[in-house]
Amino acid sequence: MNHDSGKLAQKIVAIVLVVAMLAAVRVPAIVIVGIVGAGVLIMLAVQRSQRRKTDQVFAFYIAADEVLCDEERRYRFEVAEAIKAGEKVVRLLPDAPPLSSFALGALHYSVDDHNAAIEHLALAAEEQILKDSIHKKPSRQLRRYVARLRQIERAPQRFARVNAAIQNLERLHRETGARLLAESQHHLKKLVEAYANDAAEQNKLPRNDGMISPSRQLNSITAPPPISQVLNDVYQEEATSS
């Protein structure tokens, strides 16, 4: 019995127990039917919502494959929309699969966002290592994703478009993942060095921020008049004008 079958059996047992308890306290049959019907509808709505979230991952794979395999013909907003979809996928899965992290990192690389590219490409490399770890406990979202992935793999003709996108992205991951990460790190390092050099050049320029020059004689600086003298001058001016 697989994981999904076990969960279904648990739900059926729970429904039977609820019906038995309601019948034991002599709840009318029509009320029992209504309660069971409402419970089934809620369960179906929850399953549909979960299925929709899982399908968003594979929709992102299709969008990323279309962009990465034909970058030159894509508008900038198309790439931005694919990146937005990928960011949403990463938030949906606490332990996102390596392929989604790679696809998102490759999209960031295509628009020269090397900081974000490093983040997701490095995460893809790390997840690829943890993928085979026996100590990694998968989340429920990852279990649903893997179940859906196996369903697609068992019927490649039925899910031809998404299956082709997955294969293309997996091939790109194997062939270019390490290179894209290394190039992004190189570009980011050059940006940091350029910023540091620019800051150093700015520090070499003369600065005039109002500070007293050491070469200026102190006796050339005249102190302001005392407040009593200022007030006396004001009173004298008022008396003269009156």
Residue 26 has pLDDT above 80, yes or no: no
Closest to 57 (Cα-Cα) out of 186, 146, 137, 173: 146
- Report, as an integer, the average pLDDT of 56-71: 92
Percent of the chain predicted with pLDDT > 90:
38
Residue 1: pLDDT band (50, 70, 90) is: very low
Residue 221: pLDDT band (50, 70, 90) is: low
8 A C-beta contact, residue 111 and residue 76: yes
Exposure letters 187-198 (e unless 16+ CB within 10 A, then b): beeeeeeeeeee
8 A C-beta contact, residue 198 and residue 138: no
Looking at residue 30, its pLDDT comes to 77
Between the ranges 10-14, 48-52, 97-101, where is the mean pLDDT highest? 97-101
DSSP code of residue 179 = H
State the pTM of this model.
Answer: 0.67
pLDDT tens per residue across span 195-209 = 777 777 777 776 655
Average pLDDT of the chain to the nearest whole number: 79
Q: Helix H segments across 1-139?
A: 3-24, 29-68, 76-92, 98-110, 114-130
CB neighbour list of residue 83: distance below 8 Å, 6 or more residues apart: 104, 107, 108, 111
Looking at residue 152, its pLDDT comes to 93
Calculate the CA 189 to chain-centre distance. 23
Q: How far apart are CA 228 and CA 83, in angstroms?
A: 70
- Report, as an integer, the average pLDDT of 79-104: 92
- Report, as an integer, the average pLDDT of 16-40: 70
Residue 127 has pLDDT above 90, yes or no: no
Residue 83 has pLDDT above 70, yes or no: yes
The more confidently predicted of residues 123 and 133 is: 123
